[in-house]
Amino acid sequence: MTEQMTLSLRQALEDHLERMIFYQSKMNRPADFKYVSPFAFLKEHAIYKVNGRRPMHIKKGEPKQCYKNAFQVAWRHPHRFSYVEGLAISKKVGFPIDHAWVYDKLKKRFFEVTWDDGPGQILYFGVVIKLGFVISEAMESQIYGVLQNWKTGWRILKESTPKRAWRERIDDE
C-alpha cells in the first residue's frame, strides 16, 4: 500500500469514526458507560496497522464471519496469536467496516483471516483484546465479537471495566 493510499484510507476511517461518535453521542446511554459508543472507545484505545501476510498454516475463514474466524485462530493457538477487533478499510471495499482480525505475536504483524485482500491492502484501526475476555463475552452472549456486543450490555464500554481486564499489550505499541 502506498503512503498516499494509506493516508486516503486513514482519512476515510477517521471521518467515519468522527461521524459515528457525533451521531451516537446524541443517543441515551446508561450512566455507567465511560464511552458514548464503541467508536469513542476505539478513538481512545485503537492503533493503526496495515495487514501483513497470513501464516501459511492458517486457512482463510468463512466469508462474513470475521469475529468467529479471528476468535477460532486465537483460541486454537493462544501462545502465538491474539484476537483483534475494531474497524478496517481496504481499497477494494472503500469504506470502514466493523471487523475482527488476528495479531501474530511471533512475527509481530497483523493479518487477515476473512477477506481476500493480500498483504498491505487493508488498514486496520483496532485493539488487541485478551482471549479470556473474548471467551467470557462469547459464553455469556452466544455471539462472537466484543465491541458491538449488546447482549452483554457493551461491558467493554463501562466505567467498571478496567483496561487491564480486556487489553492485551503487544510488543509494537
> For residue 43, what are the contacts with CB-CB under 8 A and spacing of at least 6?
17, 21
pLDDT band with cut points at 50, 70 and 90 for residue 171: confident
Question: Residue 102 is part of which domain span?
Answer: 3-166
pLDDT at 173: 61
Q: Could you tell me if residue 171 is inside a domain?
A: no
> Where residue 17 falls among pLDDT bands split at 50, 70, 90?
very high
Query: What DSSP letter does each residue of 70-121 carry, written as one string?
Result: HHHHHHHSTTTEEEEEEEEEETTT-S-EEEEEEEETTTTEEE-SSS---TT-
> How far, in Å, are 4, 114, 122, 167 from residue 117 at the CA level?
18, 9, 7, 27
Number of domains in the chain: 1
| Cα separation, 26 vs 31, whole angstroms | 14
pLDDT category at 172 given cuts 50, 70, 90 is: low
Within a domain: 172: no
What's the pTM?
Answer: 0.95
Is the CB of residue 73 less than 8 Å from the CB of residue 81? yes
Residue 124 near residue 110 (C-beta atoms within 8 A): yes
164 has pLDDT over 70 = yes
Task: Classify residue 136: in a domain, yes or no.
Answer: yes
The 10s digit of each residue's pLDDT in 66-98 is 999 999 999 999 999 999 999 999 988 889 999
Residues 6+ apart with CB under 8 A from 135: 75
**Does residue 173 lie in a domain region?**
no
Task: Look over the chain and give the mean of its residue pLDDT values, rounded to a whole number.
Answer: 95
